[in-house]
Amino acid sequence: MDRKEFRDLATPEEAREAIASLSLEGGVERVSLADARGRVLVARLDAELDVPGFDRASLDGYALRAKDTFGADEADPARLTLTGTVHAGEKPAIEVGEGDAVEISTGAVMPAGADAMVPVERTDTEGDEVLIRTSVAPGDNVMFAGADVAAGERALGPGTRITPRDVGLLSALGIDEVPVRARPRVGIVSTGDELVRPGEAVDSDRGEIYDVNSYTIAAGVEDAGGEAVLYPHAGDDQDEMERVLREAAAECDLVLSSGSTSASAVDVIYRVIEERGELLLHGVAVKPGKPMLVGRLNASEDRSSSGGSAYVGLPGYPVSAMMVFRTFVAPAIREAAGLPEPDAATVEGRMARQERYGEGRLRLMPVGTVTDGDGETLVYPVDKGSGATTSLAEADGVVAVDPGTDYLDEGESVTVQLFSPDVRPPTLLGVGEDDPTLNRLLDDLENPRYLSVGSRPGLRRLREGVPDVAVVAGPIDREIEAASLGGWDREWGLVVRPGNPDEIEGLADLVDRELRFVNRTTDSGLRASLGGAIADLADERDATRHDLVEAIDGFDLGLRAHESPARKVIAGDADAGLGLRTTADRLDLGFVPIDDQPVRVLANPDRREKAGVRNLARALESADYQQ
């Protein structure tokens, strides 16, 4: 098979059609009533019996002949003879003749001869006589056989998605097993030597990373009504990969692969498809998601063998894989499962800033949303770069930008397709410094979103007007129009090995001794305070700041996260790292204090009355965070 067969990228519409042309249906299975909720019926179910199956007393009272009550009322009751009793769950042992009354419980079988009943409240007894103080018509207070459902009636139609109310109907009919569409079985095959399953140890020195796609796509498959089957990780060994692919093709209705960026994986896919499979499509004009494959896989090398499955190859990058899955694959799984497309949950908003496109491909842009001071929705792109695995957890939905659009302007109206109808956009959007106290504070709020981009980028974004609040640590080098909601102090310094075996006493040791240091990035408020401390030391020594910095081994090695330098110390890669006392304490490391720095929570002045901001201000006022 010629790998260059598909020179032009397919349109998204062609990709959808290619997947629709594959059969993903899993057939029929019978499930017990206890497991029927949410499943989709494949055949009509007719009532095979009457409900109730007998004429049934609706109340506690007396079964009798309606004729015998003619003219009876409070003042002038009819006097009947009590001749017996019928309880619920027993066969009447008696017939009701003229002038007879039989005591009967709610739900009991009406005895032969009786055509009505009178509730006990309208009666009295005198010895063997029952005084009936009302007159009734035939059928009064009786539920006739089949009045609820009658034998032969159409109960539930094919395609019904079974609700608890339908379970009630099925129960009433005595049905304890129903034929439903089998969930499409979707095999997930991940390849790539660098991938490690969550829960196992990852060796970063070897460039290993956790396999994000397998569990994520599996969760997406289950969300869409499919049954996900995770196959053992195949690495980059071609024989093993081929074996796993064929096994999955034999056992599943659809096989999804993703993970490997190596050419060898694609070679294996091509080989399995070549042997009596079929390649429908390679490459789609959509971003992210271009390198998508659609086809059929054969289960065995034997060309005459039947069996096999539909196949979609997803891009390796997690965000791309999920976007392609969501756009092209999930609808096909829902269709095969017999589930309706969820109501298009959409939100209209304005772009928070200009975004440029123009790659000539459909752009599926993950976005977050935030409510501005006027209650309008602002929409901002969420993009941590193509290798990022976590962007989607910070996004609320997707804006589809068509290939002809060069840019979306700031303030331009866009429609956000929420990831699901039950997505609740965050009540508060914060940006800025990463801080342990802040993390606890956020726990007290309902559904906040916080992007720890560092103090400086946080301030810049607050100025640009997107987030509700910015959290800033250390000195602020430029004034900003913002409302302070409060803050706390945190103690920073050098995180060192337990017990401080190098006897580091302060910054001067980093300058004067051969110690390996790990810094934070310049975005961090800690780095800014460190800069101030170094300037002070330079003044003291009559040296330049530059001289001191040059003398510190590792000053330029800036890590993004507040715990990362400490972890370098634990790993033995550094003797000291810039960090917080709370981090050192938490990780059982030594700590050499340098100074305290303030952490301030600054709000966009237009958003002070927003509920999420007011809740944050209230939480800040509580004693816990005032140090």
Q: Which of residues 210-239 bind a second copy (CB under 8 A)?
A: 210-220, 222-223, 230, 236
> In the set 4, 7, 91, 356, which binds a second copy (CB under 8 A)?
91
Minimum distance, C-beta of residue 77 to a second copy, in the bound complex (Å): 25
Q: Rule CB under 8 A: which of 348-377 touch a second copy?
A: none
Rule CB under 8 A: say whether 50 interacts with a second copy: yes
Provide the token pair at 299. Answer: 């289960």
Q: Report the residue number, 200 or 409, with the smaller CB distance to a second copy.
A: 200
Minimum distance, C-beta of residue 139 to a second copy, in the bound complex (Å): 11
Q: Report the residue number, 202 or 347, with the smaller CB distance to a second copy.
A: 202
Q: Rule CB under 8 A: which of 58-77 touch a second copy?
A: 58
Minimum distance, C-beta of residue 79 to a second copy, in the bound complex (Å): 27
Minimum distance, C-beta of residue 302 to a second copy, in the bound complex (Å): 33
Angle (CA) 201-204-208 rounded to 5° is 70
Rule CB under 8 A: say whether 547 interacts with a second copy: no
Q: Which of 592, 575, 571 is nearest to 583 (CA)?
A: 592
Provide the token pair at 259. Answer: 């993970």
In angstroms, the CA 383 to CA 363 distance is: 13
Q: Rule CB under 8 A: which of 9-38 touch a second copy?
A: 33-34, 36-37
Rule CB under 8 A: say whether 51 interacts with a second copy: yes
Rule CB under 8 A: say whether 419 interacts with a second copy: yes
> In the set 386, 413, 484, 544, which binds a second copy (CB under 8 A)?
386
In angstroms, the CA 113 to CA 98 distance is: 9
Q: Report the residue number, 280 or 336, with the smaller CB distance to a second copy.
A: 336
Q: Which of 125, 17, 45, 47 is nearest to 81 (CA)?
A: 125
Rule CB under 8 A: say whether 197 interacts with a second copy: yes
In angstroms, the CA 273 to CA 237 distance is: 18
Is 233 strand, coil or helix? coil
| Sequence-distant contacts of 215-219: CB under 8 A, at least 24 apart | 216/318, 216/321, 216/322, 217/188, 217/256, 217/258, 217/314, 217/321, 217/322, 217/325, 218/188
Classify residue 243 by its DSSP letter: H
| Sequence-distant contacts of 537-545: CB under 8 A, at least 24 apart | 537/507, 537/508, 537/511
Q: Rule CB under 8 A: which of 282-321 touch a second copy?
A: 318
Q: Which of 431, 421, 476, 428 is nearest to 452 (CA)?
A: 431
The one segment of 69-77, 446-454, 528-536, 618-626 that binds a second copy by CB under 8 A:
446-454
Rule CB under 8 A: say whether 452 interacts with a second copy: yes
Minimum distance, C-beta of residue 412 to a second copy, in the bound complex (Å): 26
Minimum distance, C-beta of residue 602 to a second copy, in the bound complex (Å): 19
Q: Report the residue number, 423 or 537, with the smaller CB distance to a second copy.
A: 423
> In the set 126, 128, 232, 261, which binds a second copy (CB under 8 A)?
261
Rule CB under 8 A: say whether 202 interacts with a second copy: yes
Q: Rule CB under 8 A: which of 101-120 touch a second copy?
A: 105-109
Q: Report the residue number, 22 or 156, with the smaller CB distance to a second copy.
A: 156
Angle (CA) 103-105-111 rounded to 5° is 60
CB neighbour burial string for 47-56, b if at least 16 within 10 angstroms, e if fewer: bebbbbeebb
The one segment of 95-103, 138-146, 399-407, 534-542 that binds a second copy by CB under 8 A:
138-146
Minimum distance, C-beta of residue 136 to a second copy, in the bound complex (Å): 16
Rule CB under 8 A: say whether 196 interacts with a second copy: yes
Please state at what angle helix 455-464 crosses helix 525-541, rounded to 10 degrees. Answer: 120
Rule CB under 8 A: say whether 257 interacts with a second copy: no
Q: Which of 234, 243, 300 is nearest to 262 (CA)?
A: 234
Rule CB under 8 A: say whether 121 interacts with a second copy: no
* Alpha helix stretches (DSSP H) within 123-173: 164-172
Residue 520 belongs to what H/E stretch?
Answer: strand 517-520
Q: Report the residue number, 7 or 303, with the smaller CB distance to a second copy.
A: 7
Rule CB under 8 A: say whether 87 interacts with a second copy: yes
Residue 590's beta-bridge partner residues?
A: 496
Q: Rule CB under 8 A: which of 490-519 touch a second copy?
A: none
Rule CB under 8 A: say whether 389 interacts with a second copy: yes
Minimum distance, C-beta of residue 330 to a second copy, in the bound complex (Å): 10
